[in-house]
Amino acid sequence: MDMSLVENTSIGRGERMNLQLKPDAVNALNHPHYGYPDNSIFDKIDPSGIGTYEFGTISGSVGIPRSLQVGAQITF
């Protein structure tokens, strides 16, 4: 879930200048996105010649982790 907030604030004399702050968050809740399970029964062979059983294991995640950024804009 991505999130974005905007805050507009008047600054200066006569309130002719505006400051806009905008924080953005990508993957704000930081939920993991798991990769696909391994689908081959004997994909690795040990030095002893016995195959390792990794069928169905999920060994990683895909996607991007949480990312935050803040922007500011002054208009006059």
Question: How do the pLDDT tens digits run along the chain, 76 residues long?
Answer: 889 999 999 987 777 899 999 999 998 888 888 888 887 766 666 666 666 677 788 888 888 888 999 999 999 8
Q: Which domain holds residue 33?
A: 3-75
Q: What are phi and psi of 14, to 5 degrees?
A: 70, 5
Rounded alpha-carbon distances, angstroms, from residue 57 to 17, 35, 48, 54, 62: 57, 10, 22, 6, 15
**Amino acid identity of 66?**
R
Number of structural domains in the chain: 1
- Indicate whether this model's pTM tops 0.85: no
